[in-house]
Structure 1
Amino acid sequence: MQMHIARLEQPRTSLTGSPPISSERRSMSVEMRREGPFSASFSATSDLVIIRHVGGEISADVYYSDRAYSRTLAEGGVLVIPPHSAFRLRVEQGGLNLYAALALPQGVAVTGSRDRRPDLSRPLMLASDEVLDGLLNMARDVVDIPMGVSSNLLDSLASTILSHLTCAHAEQDDNKHRLLSNPHKTSSTMVTRAVEYMIGNLDRSITLSEVGGHVRCSASHLGRLFKTHLKASPHRYLLGLRVERAQLLLTATRLPIAHVALECGFASQEHLTRHFRRLSGTTPAAYRRAQVDT
């Protein structure tokens, strides 16, 4: 079995960098690469990109629909990046990374129903997925076969992978709903779900009582849990999340700062600037200029 090997010697920091892989003229392309530690940013393409990281951890920021999705991918995890999304990767340890790019024909049905279309507009992180691993490994073998012979095989594999990912999205949404409606949670799980709810609602004003309601916990008890597990009050932690989201949007998009403020749940640009300066030591405008200069 042929393995494609590449190494990133120098980090790339520009969001206009070339994508790590492209489907080109096929329905999908797959490569396995041995890569050292690096930090790189990649521009958006029309492909759906899948990254499987084998060694250590990888941090990723995905910028989609003027939103930011930040996750740490554990060893063996899979990150699915939707089409038209710029993204940034930070790899602390060397290891094998598998990259796949899938072309998405407009209106393609992958669920077996003529009326349903795949919901692949949002990023997806999977801790492990043996089925997806097997499909990607099969595709990696097929791409080495001459195009005329492999075309139908790749088309079939690409369709199966898209169908599987669509189901994974649906299952992840169902799991979140079940966890939020279960009153018997450990305190650490309550905090995790509270933070997830905060992250999912950074673009609007939310109260501690509202967050507590979604994790079946009183506002006062949730405040004590945050102090215990995160060493910060829920309000301060939420402000930190909002400023972090603002930093990502200032780096990855050209949105006016006033719009960034609203996307991050601040009442105005002045509101953002006040908390941004207090938590990061600079203003949003100065932060954006510094990112362009580096």
Structure 2
Amino acid sequence: MQMHIARLEQARTSLTGSPPISSDRRSMGVEMRREGPFSASFGATSDLLIIRHVGGEMAADVYYSDRVYTRTLAQGGVLVVPPNSAFRLRVGETGINLYAALALSRGIAGTRSPERRADLSRPLMLTSDEVLDGLLDMAKDLFDLPMGAGSGMLDNLASTILSHLASIQSERSDDRHHVPPNPHRISSATVTRALEYMIGNLDRSITLSDVGRHVRCSASHLGRLFKTHLKASPHRYLLGLRVERAQLLLAATRLPIAHVALECGFASQEHLTRHFRRLSGTTPAAYRRAQGET
């Protein structure tokens, strides 16, 4: 089941000098806007910003580390603005832009080492990236829910997005400097791909072997990688993702709980209830009632 509950703002032709979005005490902030034409400069923020543009071309200048990064973003392209970087955008026609702000200071998994942080310290432009597009769309749906609903899954998505971007930057850097592959970076990228596969298949009864085949890794080795990078087994992590998706559906839809269970990859309502109570301390029915009272 795919939900699209994003809200589009009205078109506007003038923007303030403050950043277009912030994480605002969460791991990630996401907003979609219909806007343009406009030309505006924005101040630096501690968040890493992602801008996905649909509608004509967008010209961008990013000011970072005493340098200027100038690019023209084609329709459907993505611009990544590193933290503490001012930037300027110029759009010639009305289009739909998605803005995402990710809070690096919150200790996102997979970006703590100096090497990984360095991978996110430079601007990045992508002409297209289906994985990133899917993660951003899912994050937008989650962010539109009431505060608290789906927050754990939003944290996981933020972590996955940052690791995915760091991997792209690392690959480009290796291509430029012919650096031999780093085993730690490869293992971290394997965990990222495994998380992407899990998140994209929460409605299916996938096994650890399925995940391992997708990332071309044995189940036992994948288990060791998860323990190293995420401090949890793949099975425990997948259960957490399923319960968080159930929380999202319980808060945002009127689906019967039995249907919610199937949408989240559980065999039955009883199967969902058992794990839901164990991980969240309450039942799906009680959780839904509490969300309706807020």
TM norm. shorter chain > 0.5: yes
Verify the 8 A CA contact 1:107 1:117 in the aligned structure 2.
no
Deviation at 1:116, TM superposition (A): 4.8
Deviation at 1:177, TM superposition (A): 5.0
1:164 is aligned to 164
CA deviation digits over 1:228-253, x for unaligned, max 9?
xxxxxxxxxxxxxxxxxxxxxxxxxx
Q: Percent identity?
A: 67
Instruction: Note the residue ranges of structure 1 that are not aligned, 5 or more in a row.
Output: 179-294
Verify the 8 A CA contact 1:42 1:87 in the aligned structure 2.
yes
* Residue type at the aligned position of 2:44: A
Verify the 8 A CA contact 1:46 1:83 in the aligned structure 2.
yes
1:270 is aligned to none
Deviation at 1:54, TM superposition (A): 1.1
Verify the 8 A CA contact 1:7 1:36 in the aligned structure 2.
no
Verify the 8 A CA contact 1:28 1:154 in the aligned structure 2.
yes
CA deviation digits over 1:154-186, x for unaligned, max 9?
1100000000000110122234457xxxxxxxx
Q: Among 3, 8, 20, which residue is 2:6 paired with? A: 3
Distance 1:46 1:76 in 2: 25
Deviation at 1:97, TM superposition (A): 0.6
Q: Which has the larger radius of gyration?
A: 1
Deviation at 1:151, TM superposition (A): 1.5
Instruction: Note the residue ranges of structure 2 that are not aligned, 5 or more in a row.
Output: 179-294
Does residue 80 of the first structure (1) align with residue 83 of the second (2)? no
Partner secondary structure for residue 105 of structure 1: helix
Distance 1:125 1:100 in 2: 15
TM-score (norm 2): 0.55
* Residue type at the aligned position of 1:140: K
Distance 1:163 1:8 in 2: 33
Does residue 117 of the first structure (1) align with residue 120 of the second (2)? no
Superposed, 1:102-141 pairs within 5 Å as: 102-105=102-105, 108-110=108-110, 116-118=115-117, 119-141=119-141
Verify the 8 A CA contact 2:13 2:35 in the aligned structure 1.
no
2:90 is aligned to 90
Verify the 8 A CA contact 1:108 1:117 in the aligned structure 2.
no
Q: 1:8 to 1:17 in 2, by over 3 A?
A: farther
TM-score (norm 1): 0.55
Partner secondary structure for residue 18 of structure 1: coil
1:71 is aligned to 71
Superposed, 1:21-60 pairs within 5 Å as: 21-60=21-60
Deviation at 1:72, TM superposition (A): 0.5
Verify the 8 A CA contact 1:51 1:98 in the aligned structure 2.
yes
Distance 1:114 1:20 in 2: 28
Distance 1:129 1:94 in 2: 23
Distance 1:115 1:61 in 2: 26
Q: How many residues align?
A: 174
Instruction: Indicate the RMSD between aligned Cα atoms, in angstroms.
Output: 2.1
Q: 1:37 to 1:169 in 2, by over 3 A?
A: same
CA deviation digits over 1:18-39, x for unaligned, max 9?
1111110110011111112110
